[in-house]
Structure 1
Amino acid sequence: MDELRQSLLLSMELEDTRIKAQEDLKLKDEQISQLKHLLTTAIKERDEAQQNCQKLFLEKLIIQQKLQQNSANISSIDDDPTRGFSSSDCDESIVSSPQPAAAAELPVVVDRPLPEKGKLLEAVMKAGPLLQTLLLAGPLPQWRHPPPPLETYQIPPPPVAPPLPVNNCGSVNRKRGLCEGGSDSSVELKYQRIVLQ
């Protein structure tokens, strides 16, 4: 009787452990299926991102090539040997050319850092054709916060250069008050002072 009871207890424990093992296996299978799903979605997103990256890279190359062609076309217009026209004729020929319209459709690609300190003029000179295309492409952007307008009394007058002294010979003295002919006038002009008001 004790042996029967003991074998019954052992069989019940064995059944419990088998049920627990099956439940654990089900949980593991569910986790594996979730991980497989996450892995497939991650692979799909990675492939889409790679395709988008390649597409954007190709678009960037195409845009850079078009910008280089446009800048080359504009620089060839600037270097054109037929410079006998008036400035209005040149402006009309540049405005009527189809290249700026193509440049207006292209987005501006900003991939250069700011110029180093003291090299702003050089950077502006290098970007000259690009600036010209942008100016011909359309209206300039509007100020978000425009500077306050200046009244006419706030604008400083231009500096006035003092007149150069004229000697007795009628020529303008640039270095000293010396004239080739007269020595008396040269001494007077040598010590002459110009009073600035």
Structure 2
Amino acid sequence: MMRDGAGVMVRLASVADAVALQSCFRDLSISSRYNRLMGAASELPAEQSQKIIHSGRGVTSVLAVTQVDGCEQIVGEARYAFDQDGWRVELGLSIDDRPQRWELGAALLSNLEGRAAALGAAQLFGDTLRSNYAMLAVARKAGFALAATPGDWKQVRFEKRIDAMPQALPGASLRMAGRGEVAMAH
């Protein structure tokens, strides 16, 4: 829930989200856009937009959305890619500048952790710029360890081993229920 009492829902991204996603990205501060893409950009590059709205081949994107004046508004996005060979999930996320301090980043990380557990991953990780203090703080608070990113002195890798039972993590139960592994509450 956001500070103004509005609820936030996390859902899969779709092709229908392309315009709203671009609008959300344009509304980010210059530093937030730079942190998300690890480079300068005034708008979300078409290639990145296509990757976000078209899931598949082990890569999925989720959006954090809320209602503003009766219309859905994107306030965060996250992408994750499952590497079956290494049983790891790589992630990236961005949060609208206004709710950055409202625990939305932590909630998205928790959601991704549940999704990673449901996939059977043993580790969740991402890379961010050393200057992205907000992301580093969120990752640290969520229990991620910080280390140098191999081969890139400008980045920091945050990683977390997934030891919890998938049923205990948000987002994990839906995937498991879809495979018939757990019963859904009615």
What TM-score do you get using the length of structure 2 for normalisation? 0.20
Greater RCO (Cα-Cα under 8 Å, separation 6 or more): 2
Over alpha carbons, which structure has the higher Rg? 1
What TM-score do you get using the length of structure 1 for normalisation? 0.19
Q: Per residue, is there more strand in 1 or in 2?
A: 2
